[in-house]
Amino acid sequence: MSSKTYTVAVVGATGAVGEAMLSILAERKFPVGTLHALASERSAGEKVAFGSQKLVVQDLATFDPAGVDIALFSAGGSVSKEYAPRFAAAGAVVIDNSSAFRYDDDVPLVVAEVNPEQVANRPRGIIANPNCSTMQMLVALAPIHRAAGIERINVATYQSVSGAGRTAMEELGRQTAAMLNFQPHEPAKFPVQIAFNLIPQIDEFMDNGYTREEMKLVWETRKILGDDAIQVNPTAVRVPVFFGHSEAVHLETRRKLTAGEARELLEAAPGVEVVDEREPGGYPTPVTHAAGADPVYVGRIREDLSHPRGLDLWIVADNIRKGAALNAVQVAELVVKARS
């Protein structure tokens, strides 16, 4: 990486993803010269950690983006729609974690290990980060698609509450404590109880009966892999886990790929760690592997008994780190590398 330093802004610095972005920028020794931590007016004046430093959070609404080289946004779609174009117009490369620009033809949708070349294709100065569930799935599936071509993906996701923000984590904690103490509890963040329960709805329902979270898997998979012929059949479920999304993925490839061949491809794939011992505990879980870690973990690799070119995988990753913050920083590193 270049010895040059960059002026970086993190928008949404007080949120879970924003805090992770600050932590990862420091961990990976990103060449930061000046760092601006930005959030809404109500958070202005708070302090956030950046390595050994404490940064005072500034009000996004009154901040002048002139001189910012790279802006990492994780403050929601409405904030991104309003402010990301302002930062881009001022000369910053914007890396946006919301869904605001993901489906625009002139905004690249980038997973660092999958389609890094798309970073250069940013006519509006904006690069979009995919949805967390799509992100981890494609880190694992891209090498298989390149080797054998994927025709169809059946996927059921088991998504932790941190994907719905800090208030969702607090609700799971409150409900769990209340139930264990035989106290009454009412849902607020979720439509029904989340503690000791599964909720087969993430985001709003659409006219076709799928939720928006499920359709993100369809739209984003095709855009990132550059193949509109891939069929995706998703079900997205919220589960009472704090950190880490899991996915049961069933693939149908164009060319027959054995489980052994798939395992070799995955073991060589960047960002992937294979945990696939056929014994109790020999598979990845959100708690034992993913939470707080960077890799996408893959296990339960086997051939589909019901399809001649089918493969089954179990994919687990930390949705806050790889699913959001880490990929944004990796994309920023690609931008810096291209400039050096």
Q: Which CATH number characterizes residue 117's domain?
A: 3.40.50.720
Do the Cβ atoms of 239 and 198 come closer than 8 Å? yes
| pLDDT bracket for residue 73 (50, 70, 90) | very high
Average pLDDT over residues 229-234: 98
Annotated catalytic residue: which of 36, 132, 145, 289? 132
Statement to judge: residues 270 and 150 lie in one domain: yes
pLDDT value for 1 = 47
Going by pLDDT thresholds of 50, 70 and 90, the confidence category of residue 111 is very high
Give residue 254's pLDDT band: very low, low, confident or very high (50, 70, 90).
Answer: very high
The verdict on whether residue 16 carries a ligand-binding annotation is yes
Q: How many domains, the chain?
A: 2
Is pLDDT of 174 > 60?
yes
User: Is the domain of 153 the same as that of 249?
Assistant: yes
Say which amino acid occupies 104.
D
- Residue 178 pLDDT level (bands cut at 50, 70, 90): very high
**Residue 265 lies inside a defined structural domain of this protein:** yes
Q: Which two tokens stand for residue 157?
A: 């996701």
Tell whether residue 159 is among the known ligand binding residues. yes
Residue of 245, 250, 289, 307 with catalytic role: 245
Q: Do 146 and 246 fall within a single domain?
A: yes
Per-residue pLDDT band at 44 (split at 50, 70, 90): very high
pLDDT classification of 134: cutoffs 50, 70, 90? very high
- The pTM score is 0.95
Structural domain that includes position 74 = 6-129+324-339
132 assigned to active site: yes
Closest CA to 150 of 247, 254, 233: 254
Asked whether residue 164 falls in the same domain as residue 82, the answer is no
299: helix, coil or strand?
Answer: strand
Residue 118 lies in a domain: yes
Per DSSP, helices labelled H in the chain are 16-27, 77-89, 132-148, 166-180, 212-225, 259-268, 326-339
Residues 299 and 213 in one domain: yes
Q: Is pLDDT at 340 greater than 90 in this prediction?
A: no
Residues 177 and 283 in one domain: yes
Q: Is residue 1 part of a domain?
A: no
Residue 2's pLDDT is what?
Answer: 53
Residue 78 has pLDDT above 90, yes or no: yes
Whether 36 is catalytic: no
How far apart are alpha carbons 102 and 95 in whole angstroms? 11
319 marked ligand binding residue:
yes
Q: Has 14 been labeled as part of a binding site?
A: yes
H helix intervals, 1-157 = 16-27, 77-89, 132-148
How long a stretch of residues is the chain? 340
- Reported as a single tens digit per residue, the pLDDT across 301-320 is 999 999 999 999 999 999 99
Cβ partners under 8 Å of residue 223, min gap 6: 102, 103, 109
- Indicate if 89 and 138 belong to the same structural domain: no
Asked, for residue 98, whether it belongs to a domain, the answer is: yes
